[in-house]
Amino acid sequence: MDALRRTLLKGAGATGAIAAAIAAGVLKPSQALAAEWNKNAFEARDLAGALKGLGAGGAADSKDIVIKAPDIAENGAVVPVDVASNIPNTQSISVLVDKNPFPLAAHFDFANGALPQVAVRLKMGQTSNIHVIAKADGKSYVAAKEVKVTVGGCGG
Amino acid sequence: MSMNRREFLQILAAASAAGFALDSRELLAAQGGGKLYDLPRFGNVSLLHFTDCHAQLLPIYFREPNVNLGIGGAVGRAPHLVGEHLLRAFNIRPGSLDAHAFTYLDFAQAARAYGKVGGFAHLATLVKRLRASRPGALLLDGGDTWQGSATALWSKGQDMVDACKLLGVDIMTGHWEFTLGAERVQEIVKKDFPGKIEFLAQNVKTTDFGDPVFKPYAIREINGVPVAVIGQGFPYTPVANPRYMIPDWTMGIQDDEMQKVVDEARGKGAQVVVLLSHNGMDVDLKMASRVTGIDAILGGHTHDGVPAPSIVKNAGGQTLVMNSGSNGKFLSVLDFDVRGGNIQGWRYKLLPVFSNLLPADKEMAAYIDKVRAPHKAKLEEKLAVSEGLLYRRGNFNGSWDQLILDAMMEAKGAQIAFSPGFRWGTSILPGQAITFEHVMDQTAITYPYSTLTDMSGEMIKNVLEDVCDNLFNADPYKQQGGDMVRVGGMSYACDPNAAMGSRIQDMRLDGKPIEAARTYKVAGWAPVAEGATGEPIWDVVTKWLRDKKVVTPRKLNEPRLIGVAGNPGIA
């Protein structure tokens, strides 16, 4: 079953899924995204600048943002991070890697009642906190988790 | 029977002065060895557990560490107790059989007196005895079984797979198994194991969809009681070992998934839930505090022979955490009394396997002979005689590692050498011949390449800091369970309690400070990156030993330690 699922998805290509998402109104088309590109936030070179760009400087700590990420990354080039917000009316989720050259790694807007849950693969050069900002009803919330990036070897 | 350590040493001295053959059954008997294995049955659910045997089919010597530091919340707690600290904590009499089994104290003399430990033929006898007294008992293997010897490497684990089937292993999990490559592991699980051994690991998933690679748990009925065994492979295999060996698998600790598996097993009626873990003991202790519903964790990876369980309280009650040592030296016996669907009581004993007290099982001995026969001459070739004691375990260095470092630096003309902080590898007594097999006991891996690299002082510092954090991070979930990389040629200081980036200090070569921007020639082996090449390390060491013929006692290069005075994890 799993092999079949894999083959089907490979055949269909990832674009199919994205097209479906856009058609369903869950994701906005690229033109719209481009128009809303938050240059100040994405081009900020430190966490404070990125948070300022997002308008999330005074975000409140929240346990309703759930970050699933490895304690130690298996491969710093593709660190799997899953984020879900249990805050009612979550309208956007932003993912930031504090020590990356450009900390803001991803920003998602949720429309039409889409579930505020995303899975991303992040590139990380060194051990760092990952900060997640969720916005709901005009307020900002934040949670963080550290992911260790190591050169490896020498175990056991 | 009430011999203390001084009396014991006097007896040894008198015995050797009188020319008595040591390695003596009489001495073992005088120490109460005859009764060691008379373990009365308790309850109705019994689990036998060994782990990290590292493919040692024959009896061996294995010295426990004199440095095993606990940091943060782990200071002074099991397993971070060595020598007399361990004896005191577990009320073990100095000079006793247990004192020899669980500590490094007077190792060479005691090992001569009591003989070798482990060996599958002797372990088989013990397993059979315990199974006779405990009908229905399950035999669990915590992994690191298919790696660690020449014959395991050359047969791609097959010698151990067949030995475990003969031994009657019911369930296993893994770590070094995965360094044979994903395909080979699947081949064994699918072709050799069905109907014999179940390979369980709840935390190994595919990288694409997160599908399980192995069955997460099994429920077995023992004398009418449903018992769930959950498998947990070494979470950081893709970090600590070459990821390219298992490119499509992802691992990690996965507490949340573990809780789901425990709840599912309980939902299916399991009255006892046991975790067969390769987390390492510090990770097991933390997991036991967070995941509820596990009655016992039978653990491995960190090679800690801990005489009694640590009892960890959590939101759902309590969990017993054990670690069953390594190299076939110990067998755990865990008995539960289960009545009315509940555990009413338990008993636990970590039995040392003294080969002289357990006759070899004939069938297993014949099997081992058969495995070794084609390679016997090569395995038993004497390369040199060691004047000193050679061992590996210890947080910072061991004399076997020092020998490897010395051989690499001389063979490659390196200024500095690194050798990985592996915890496996058997010990050699003073005056014993070093055979090719002994060299393979320290080096038999599927990525044995030795290397010579130009490294900047800054890079050397970064490597040392990185490995040191894997050992001393205050959060066990960020540790990897190996020891510090062994360093040759260069001196340094280490403050284990400092933050990452500040632990490694005062790095010097020939008394002069290492300069960040300068380049140094550094020898090493066991690179985890794909595409690495180089002469296998066993060839480098073998040539060096043949050339020396007599190996003088090694001078251990260990860091100057800062801030650990009084820590019971250092002797």
Domain boundaries in chain B?
141-354, 380-561
Query: B380-561 — its CATH code?
Result: 3.90.780.10
pLDDT at residue B459 greater than cutoff 80: yes
Enumerate residues 13 to 32 of chain B having a beta carbon within 8 A of any beta carbon in chain A.
none
Q: Are B478 and A2 within 8 A, CB to CB?
A: no
Q: What is the pLDDT of residue B11?
A: 59
In this prediction, residue A113 has a pLDDT band, given cuts at 50, 70 and 90, of confident
Q: What is the pLDDT of residue B122?
A: 98
How far away is chain A from the Cα of B443, in angstroms, using its nearest Cα?
13
pLDDT at residue A10 greater than cutoff 80: no
In this prediction, residue B35 has a pLDDT band, given cuts at 50, 70 and 90, of confident
Mean of per-residue pLDDT scores for chain A: 83
pLDDT at residue B424 greater than cutoff 90: yes
Question: Residues B256-267: what's their mean pLDDT?
Answer: 98
Q: In chain B, pLDDT over 90 holds for what percent of residues? A: 92
Question: Residues B394-402: what's their mean pLDDT?
Answer: 98
Nearest by CB to B421, which of A72, A75, A154?
A: A154
Q: What is the pLDDT of residue B474?
A: 94
If phi > 0 it is left, if psi is from -120 to 50 it is alpha, else beta; for residue B258 that is alpha
- Per-residue pLDDT tens digits for A68-112: 999 999 999 999 999 999 999 999 999 999 999 999 999 999 988
CB of B421 within 8 Å of any CB in chain A? yes
At CB < 8 Å, which residues of chain A contact B? 2, 5-6, 68, 70-75, 80, 127, 148, 150-156
Q: What is the pLDDT of residue B2?
A: 44
Question: Residues B555-569: what's their mean pLDDT?
Answer: 97
How far away is chain A from the Cα of B238, in angstroms, using its nearest Cα?
6
CA A89 to chain CA centroid, Å, is: 18
What residues in A contact B483, CB-CB < 8 Å?
154
For residues A37 and B541, the model is more confident at B541
Q: Are B462 and A151 within 8 A, CB to CB?
A: yes
Q: Are B480 and A70 within 8 A, CB to CB?
A: no
pLDDT at residue B27 greater than cutoff 80: no
Q: Are B240 and A127 within 8 A, CB to CB?
A: no
pLDDT at residue B102 greater than cutoff 90: yes
Q: Are B239 and A150 within 8 A, CB to CB?
A: yes
pTM for the full predicted model? 0.92
Question: Residues B470-486: what's their mean pLDDT?
Answer: 93
Q: What is the pLDDT of residue A15?
A: 44
Q: What is the pLDDT of residue B348?
A: 98
- Cβ partners under 8 Å of residue B168, min gap 6: B127, B131, B139
Closest chain A residue to B479 measured between Cα atoms?
A72
What residues in A contact B236, CB-CB < 8 Å?
72, 74, 155
Q: Measured in Å, how far apart are chain B's first and last C-alpha atoms? A: 26
Q: What is the pLDDT of residue A8?
A: 45
Q: Report which of B117, B201, B129, B202 is spatially closest to residue B168, judged by C-alpha positions.
A: B129
In this prediction, residue B20 has a pLDDT band, given cuts at 50, 70 and 90, of very low
pLDDT at residue B52 greater than cutoff 80: yes
Q: How many angstroms separate the CA atoms of B472 and B335, rounded?
A: 34
How far away is chain B from the Cα of A106, in angstroms, using its nearest Cα?
20
What residues in A contact B253, CB-CB < 8 Å?
71
pLDDT at residue B447 greater than cutoff 80: yes
- Cβ partners under 8 Å of residue A90, min gap 6: A110, A116, A134, A135, A136
pLDDT at residue B224 greater than cutoff 70: yes
- Cβ partners under 8 Å of residue B447, min gap 6: B179, B242, B526, B527, B528, B532
How does strand A65-68 pair with strand A79-85? Answer: antiparallel
In this prediction, residue B1 has a pLDDT band, given cuts at 50, 70 and 90, of very low
ipTM of the prediction: 0.84
Six-digit token pair at B255? 């507490």
How does strand A139-147 pair with strand B272-277? Answer: unpaired
pLDDT at residue B97 greater than cutoff 80: yes
How far away is chain B from the Cα of A4, in angstroms, using its nearest Cα?
12
Q: What is the pLDDT of residue A25?
A: 56
Question: Residues B179-200: what's their mean pLDDT?
Answer: 98
In this prediction, residue B18 has a pLDDT band, given cuts at 50, 70 and 90, of very low
Q: Are A153 and B526 within 8 A, CB to CB?
A: yes
Q: In chain B, pLDDT over 70 holds for what percent of residues? A: 95
Half-sphere exposure of residue B11: CA atoms within 13 angstroms, side-chain side: 20
pLDDT at residue B128 greater than cutoff 50: yes
Q: Measured in Å, how far apart are chain A's first and last C-alpha atoms? A: 35
Q: What is the pLDDT of residue B288?
A: 98
CB B548 within 8 A of CB B483: no
Architecture of domain B141-354: 4-Layer Sandwich (3.60)
CB of B250 within 8 Å of any CB in chain A? yes
What residues in A contact B241, CB-CB < 8 Å?
153, 155-156
pLDDT at residue B365 greater than cutoff 90: yes
Q: How many angstroms separate the CA atoms of A41 and A47, rounded?
A: 9
Nearest by CB to B243, which of A71, A74, A80?
A: A74
How far away is chain A from the Cα of B20, in angstroms, using its nearest Cα?
39
Q: What is the pLDDT of residue B228?
A: 98
Q: What is the pLDDT of residue A9?
A: 46
How far away is chain A from the Cα of B424, in angstroms, using its nearest Cα?
8
Mean of per-residue pLDDT scores for chain B: 95
What residues in B contact A153, CB-CB < 8 Å?
240-241, 420, 467, 485, 526-528
Residue listed under structure tokens 């200071």 = B75
- Per-residue pLDDT tens digits for B313-338: 999 999 999 999 999 999 999 999 99
How far away is chain B from the Cα of A1, in angstroms, using its nearest Cα?
11
Q: How many angstroms separate the CA atoms of B568 and B550, rounded?
A: 36
- Per-residue pLDDT tens digits for B71-82: 999 999 999 999
pLDDT at residue A1 greater than cutoff 80: no
For B38-50, what is the HEC assignment? Answer: CCCCCCCEEEEEE
Q: What is the pLDDT of residue B19?
A: 43
Q: Are B239 and A155 within 8 A, CB to CB?
A: yes
Q: What is the pLDDT of residue A36?
A: 73
Domains of chain A in start order, with CATH, are 1-36 (no CATH), 38-147 (2.60.40.2470)
